[in-house]
Every structure is written in structure tokens, then in C-alpha cells.
């Protein structure tokens, strides 16, 4: 009954942690493609190929349902995977839609026509590849009309977080927020469109001001998954064991993951 969680590196551990807390009885298999991270600077075709390979590896672990806990993969590869590659008995879900549906106050899975929503000015902070894909704007347009989105590519933030350099990461967050505010002085809401960014949520909130509602992904994705599995229990796979897998060096990745979440985590070779 295992569910897979895929990310290009360590950021997806924030989503994994939230899912584990929400669904403690569901085994989770996490795969970090650390050997090829970061995805944010890769081409769309490269991201598609790497994401498909990672998802296939999780299917081999008995995970019929895989969460792409990576905004870059969700933006650059998910729709193409669903349209051209995905078998009928498998599911791959991304991290954008639950957050957009929370922003637009729609029940998860509500496919009614787009409508006017209360929030009109939204700031999006994400990796350069996610911003370039315009996937957030595309998905938002399916659900809401009249929303102005200003996107800010946040180069360097993920690297600083994974290096454990909180001072640099906070300085970069402040710089990126200031850059966006020059273009959109009064956002009503801000989307943290990278699974690393929940670790810097307080820095984003401080830089934006208390009047801006900040939306982070981990808890929203976990709640959406719980709802999905109630409605589609057939996609609980055959896997029985929780584990952490990496395409990188397990010892090195384990050390960085332990630093990242501040608790012991042991990775195995994928």
C-alpha cells in the first residue's frame, strides 16, 4: 500500500514529512535524484526523461501512485507524462494544483469552470525553470479569472538551503522579494513554489510583510493526497516498507538530509 514521493533532491522531504504526519499508516518510499540535481537549470526534455526514470523506479518499489514533490518536475514534465506516458493503472500527481485550489477556495478535485476569486494580485516565488514553464499560471487559469500573477525566479536559494547556509538563504530571499515588490508593490498572496521554501517561510513572510498571505505546499499536498486516497483507494500500491532512496551517494545525502530536517535520516542507493 506504499505511495511514492519523488524529488530532484532534498526539498521534497518537507512534503514527505507532512504526508507521513497526515497518513501515518501508509508506507512512503522517497526517491531523491540527487545525482542530477538541481533540475531548475535543466531543459524541459531532460527534466521529463529524468522524472520518468525516477517514477519508474518508484513503481518498481510497489508504488502505483507517485507524488512529484518537485515543482520543477511538476511544471516541466507532469502534463506531458499524463498525456503521453502514464499507464492506465498508475497515477502521478503534482504539487501545484492543491495549492492553487486552496488559493482559489475550491474543493480539491473541483473541475467546474473558472470563476472570479477574492485574491487578485499573487506573487509567485519559484526556481527559474518553474517560472519559465508558466505552469502555475496555466493551472490557475483553469480555476480562476482576473488574477494577476507576478513571478520571481529565485536563483541560488535552493543551493543555499542545501548547503545549510541560512544567512545566505535569507539574504537571497530578501533580495528576491524586494525585486518582485518593485514590479508588484501590493501583492495579496504569495505562493512559495518550491518544496525547499517552507524552510524559509518566515523569511519570506518578514520580507513581504504580515499583510500578505503566504501559501506553502507541504500541508496542502498532504491533505489533498489523503482526500484522493479516500476516493481512489485502488491506487494504494503493493509496497509495504517505508524507505529513502537516492541516485547520489547515500552517506553524503543522508548527512545533508539529516541537516536539512534536523533529525536522523538514512538513505539507500536507488
pLDDT tens-place string over residues 155-191: 999 889 878 889 999 999 999 999 999 999 999 999 9
Largest CA distance in the chain: 51
Average pLDDT estimate for 224-231: 91
CA 95/CA 199 separation, integer angstroms: 16
User: Residue 226's pLDDT is what?
Assistant: 93
β pairing state of 28-32 and 3-7? parallel
Which amino acids are annotated as binding site for substrate, given as ranges? Answer: 7-8, 39-40, 71-72, 195-196
CA 188/CA 123 separation, integer angstroms: 8
- Name, in order, each residue with C-beta under 8 angstroms of 160's C-beta and a sequence gap of 6 or more: 166, 168, 169, 172
User: What burial class does residue 164 get, using C-beta atoms within 10 Å of its C-beta: 0-12 exposed, 13-18 middle, 19+ buried?
Assistant: exposed
> Any idea where the domains of the chain sit in the sequence?
3-94+219-269, 97-217
Question: What SS3 state is found at 243?
Answer: strand
Which amino acids are annotated as binding site, given as ranges? Answer: 7-8, 39-40, 71-72, 195-196
Mean pLDDT (the chain) is 92
Catalytic residue positions, numbered = 70, 194
Looking at CATH, the fold of the domain delimited by 97-217 is given as Rossmann fold (3.40.50)
pLDDT in tens, 19-73: 999 999 999 999 999 999 888 778 899 999 999 999 999 999 999 999 999 988 9
Looking at CATH, the fold of the domain delimited by 3-94+219-269 is given as Rossmann fold (3.40.50)
pLDDT in tens, 92-129: 999 888 888 888 887 656 778 888 888 999 999 998 88
Amino acid at each position: 500500500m506504499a505511495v511514492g514521493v519523488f524529488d530532484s533532491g532534498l526539498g521534497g522531504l518537507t512534503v514527505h514529512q507532512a504526508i507521513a504526519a497526515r497518513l501515518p499508516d501508509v508506507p512512503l518510499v522517497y526517491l531523491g535524484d540527487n545525482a542530477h540535481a538541481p533540475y531548475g537549470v535543466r531543459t524541459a526534455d531532460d527534466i521529463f526523461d529524468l522524472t520518468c526514470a525516477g517514477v519508474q523506479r518508484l513503481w518498481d518499489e510497489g508504488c502505483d501512485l507517485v507524488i512529484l514533490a518537485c515543482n520543477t518536475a511538476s511544471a516541466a514534465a507532469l502534463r506531458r507524462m499524463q498525456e503521453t506516458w502514464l499507464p492506465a493503472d498508475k497515477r502521478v500527481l503534482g504539487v501545484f494544483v492543491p495549492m492553487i485550489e486552496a488559493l482559489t477556495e475550491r474543493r480539491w478535485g473541483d473541475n467546474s469552470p473558472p470563476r472570479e476569486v477574492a485574491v487578485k494580485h499573487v506573487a509567485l516565488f519559484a526556481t527559474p525553470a518553474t517560472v519559465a514553464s508558466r505552469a502555475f499560471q496555466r493551472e490557475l487559469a483553469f480555476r480562476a479569472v482576473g488574477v494577476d500573477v507576478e513571478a520571481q525566479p529565485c536563483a541560488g536559494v535552493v543551493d543555499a538551503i542545501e548547503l545549510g547556509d541560512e544567512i545566505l538563504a535569507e539574504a537571497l530571499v530578501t533580495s528576491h522579494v524586494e525585486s518582485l515588490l518593485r514590479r508588484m508593490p501590493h501583492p495579496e498572496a504569495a505562493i512559495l513554489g518550491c518544496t525547499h521554501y517552507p524552510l524559509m517561510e518566515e523569511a519570506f513572510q518578514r520580507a513581504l510583510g504580515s499583510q500578505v498571505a503566504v501559501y506553502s505546499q507541504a500541508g496542502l499536498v498532504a491533505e489533498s493526497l489523503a482526500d484522493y486516497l479516500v476516493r481512489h483507494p485502488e491506487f494504494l500500491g503493493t509496497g509495504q516498507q517505508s524507505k529513502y532512496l537516492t541516485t547520489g551517494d547515500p552517506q553524503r545525502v543522508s548527512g545533508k538530509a539529516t541537516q536539512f530536517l534536523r533529525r536522523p535520516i538514512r538513505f539507500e542507493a536507488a
